[in-house]
Chains A and B, each alone.
Chain A
Amino acid sequence: MNASGRASLGWWLLLLPAVALVLFFYVAPIVQVLTISFTEPEPGLGNYERLLTSEGVQRVIFTTLRICLLTTFFALLLGYAIAYAITLASPRARSWWILAVLVPLWISVLVRAFAWVTLLRRQGLVNNTLMQAGVISEPLPLVWNEFGILVGMVHYMVPFAVLPMLASMREIEPRLLAAARGLGASRGQVFRQVFLPLSMPGVIAAGVLVFIFSLGFYITPAILGGGRTLMVAEWIALQILDLIRWGLGTMMATMLVVAIMVTLLVFSRVVDLRRMFGSGGG
């Protein structure tokens, strides 16, 4: 073996631990999940047939899609407003804004879910305040339903929506906005015709990120849904841990992975994924 061959073998050896780690902790379990979904309780496509026949399975999927799409929509809406404000803020104010966006990320998702429960439950702060103010006479059903899940998930997702959009907005040259005004565009026209189109790559990236993240959400829907509104992740846990229906659970897990792959595949044709998740591209 020549010298360069030895050198490149050395590099491969250095990669080995990482490859082993990925194989052992990611690839092997996923392959196992895939296998179980085709073999339990009996070999065949029986579990996948349920996708077409079982109303319960279909309901879980549609509930999940609906909640994820709504979460993505509202997270993008709020996130866009925040990212826009940060972009326009002075450098000092900007760092405070970014801190305010990031701090929630450091708080456990569990804590945040329970915090929303205390705010939104029947005797919670929101209902009590509204009742004392005489706006409502009965407590509103704000939690343990889809609405509660949506509130918790949007709250969790907003930072993930803000960051890609902020990155994209900060790449927009301020001179372009000044040029647009100098050429006769009102502030509204500058926003609609220059700023918004130029920030679209960030919006798409944020949308994909939030949507994919939402698909597999477990803790927030489990706590704020109160077991009445089931999303895919909780449904899988229920099948495997409580009902011991490994086949069905792993089938849904496989579908989840497939859904994420398909989403990524579709959008990789529209946007540069590497750039979207912050590696390379510039």
Chain B
Amino acid sequence: MKGHALSLRRLTKRYGDFTAVDDVSLEVEQGQFLTLLGPSGSGKTTILMAVAGFVEPTDGHVLLDGRDITPLPPEKRDFGMVFQGYALFPHMSVADNVAFPLRVRGQSRADREAKVRAALDLVQLSAFAERLPKQLSGGQQQRVALARALVFDPNLLLLDEPLSALDKKLRAELQEELKALHRRIGRTFVNVTHDQEEALSLSDRIAILNHGKLVQFGGPGELYERPRTRFVADFLGKSNFLQGIARGPDAAGMLLETPGQGIHVRFAGPVHMPRDGGRALLSLRPEKITVLNPGETAENVVEGTVRAFAYLGAGFSLVVETAHLGEIRAVLPAWQSPVAPAEGLPVRLGWAADAAVPVEEDAA
């Protein structure tokens, strides 16, 4: 067994009156890639630091393979960690940086050399072993930090915004490398980020946090397709929100009654079901909306006029003003657009009944 399972049980951290982490519980299976995703101040880093042992929880427990490790200091946990800004030791060569975790564990020189070589091979930096960190580019430093965190066969790999300091292109490259690395070594990874694309592309499991609370926990597809609250729908990708009164909700679907028209909703999976006759909120992803050709129809059709548009190369982003539903954003591939958009152009928008999902308002 290579990876380890991590559980957080009712983890809470308070600083005076401020609650940084509020009763968070979650389970990560061995070998999974977990991402803690949230805006700044959502408590994601505090959770990571509690897992690493740098932050002592006010309440709750951290378990590794079912064993309570909450009282252990960081150096006894055997977790590899990649810090924000990498935290490479500036006075040591790349090889010495990578050898550091082995040296403090008292491993012999021969063992160290072999493992350092293997770790540097893993991140393709063998040629740079004798350089100092400051002689490397940001992406290379990042890879040294990864090699250093992995060289001692850690129980877990913790990543604190590992890609945030890199430019966009490099970030995309390293995302792929990180994902390939995770596949190859099969360890359990815990990553912290505020970048929703990074979270979606890397993770097996995403924990979405806001104001210290765990808002939703699940696989990337599940979270994107069936967000539980408005915050999740808004933070993970973009979303339109349609408000109205729920009519006749059952296991199959419901009707959202809005001032101008009814909107058909078919539930594609388990969702938060609104009360019959109560207020309800729908999340509708912009890319699930199409502009209809004349004569074409869809399960839901709304008429409006283009108020703004942007050409994105691969597609168009439209803001359409509707009579009763307010502004609706749609993103459509350029080749699928029946007309070249222009401001003031009347259009008919359509979407399938299973495109929209009911979400809860977040508790204030």
Contact = CB atoms under 8 A, between A and B. Distances in A.
Contacts of B54: 178, 181-182
B218 interface: no
A184 B85 contact: no
A183 B146 CA distance: 12
Given A176-B89, A193-B103, A184 B78 contact: yes
Nearest to B103: A193
A175 B161 CA distance: 14
Interface string A154-192: 000000000000000000010110111111111001000
* Best-buried of A173, A183, A194, A198 by chain B (most CB within 10 Å): A183
B100 A183 contact: yes
Q: Which of B74, B81, B103 has the most CB of A within 10 A?
A: B74
Interface in B310-347: none
A179 B104 CA distance: 13
Contacts of B85: 175
B90 A182 contact: no
B52 interface: yes
A197 interface: yes
A193 B87 contact: no
Contacts of A198: 89-91
B149 interface: yes
Interface string B69-82: 00001110011110
A197 B100 CA distance: 14
B87 A197 contact: no
Interface of B: 52-54, 73-75, 78-81, 83-85, 87, 89-91, 100-101, 103-105, 148-149, 152, 158
A185 B75 contact: yes
A179 B75 CA distance: 10
B87 A173 contact: yes
B81 A182 contact: yes
B104 A186 contact: yes
Given A173-B87, A176-B87, A183 B101 contact: yes
9 contacts: A175-B84, A175-B85, A176-B90, A178-B74, A179-B89, A180-B89, A182-B79, A183-B148, A184-B105
Nearest to A183: B101
Contacts of A182: 52-54, 74-75, 79, 81, 83, 158
B83 A184 contact: no
A197 B74 CA distance: 22
A179 B83 contact: yes
Contacts of B158: 182
A176 B85 CA distance: 10
B258 to A, nearest CB: 52
A20 B105 CA distance: 63
Given A175-B83, A193-B104, A181 B89 contact: no
Which among B53, B84, B91, B104 has the highest number of chain A CB atoms within 10 Å?
B104
Contacts of B74: 178, 181-182
Between A182, A185, A193, the greatest number of chain B beta carbons within 10 A of the residue's beta carbon is seen for A182
Contact of B100 (A175, A178, A193): A193
A184 B78 CA distance: 6
Given A175-B83, A178-B83, A184 B152 contact: yes
B311 to A, nearest CB: 43
Contacts of B105: 184
Contact of A175 (B52, B53, B87, B91): B87
Contacts of A181: 54, 73-75
A194 B87 contact: no
Interface in A193-212: 193-194, 197-198
A40 to B, nearest CB: 52
Given A180-B104, A182-B74, A198-B90, 18 more contacts: A173-B87, A175-B83, A175-B85, A176-B90, A178-B83, A179-B83, A181-B54, A181-B74, A182-B54, A182-B79, A183-B80, A183-B149, A184-B78, A184-B101, A184-B152, A185-B100, A198-B89, A198-B91
